[in-house]
A = this chain, B = another copy of it.
């Protein structure tokens, strides 16, 4: 159970655990507001500390966002591991994993908002975050490995990226409100099922091609 990345020593201080309080304030804010509106100063106000206090826990605003993203990847890995370890057929497992991803994006919108931010693309500066992201992909590849054991490694990785793209693309479009009430488009729930089903097909096709 790897939940928080690092609990600072023994928790207590003036403000018990400011680092966590800031992250929680950020999560709360991002529930229904885009990342651009998130302000370090406001987080400090929420936590009832001075405007400079956050900078003792995060080098700058980007590192705070990166910490939140890392937490998001870790939580996803934790819940996805459960799905991956379930006694199911590889095909069902894959569909469940797809549904789990979309559910995660819906329930943890605040985290999801920062998990693929182009401001955090720097691999060296945000190494720990990218390590967690790579682990998340690795988990997806692992399930695909089970589902199509006869395919070549390259093809498996290729399918993993395509599948990831579908899930992320759908979650992203939905989160950004692009899919809202487009005439003729089915309910979003049905779309979740369709996305999951298309992932399963993605793998079945690979076995015999």
The residues of A with any CB-CB pair to B shorter than 8 Å are 34-37, 113, 116-119, 121, 123, 133-134, 137, 141, 153-154, 157-162, 164-170, 172-173, 175-180, 182, 184-186, 190-191, 194-195, 198, 201-202, 205
Contact = CB atoms under 8 A, between A and B. Distances in A.
A162 B173 CA distance: 11
B121 A195 contact: no
A183 to B, nearest CB: 8
Contact of A170 (B119, B161, B186): B161
A202 B201 CA distance: 9
Given A117-B176, A157-B186, A176-B118, A162 B194 contact: yes
Q: How many copies does the complex hold?
A: 2
A164 to B, nearest CB: 7
Of listed A113, A116, A117, A175, residue having the most chain B CB within 10 A: A116
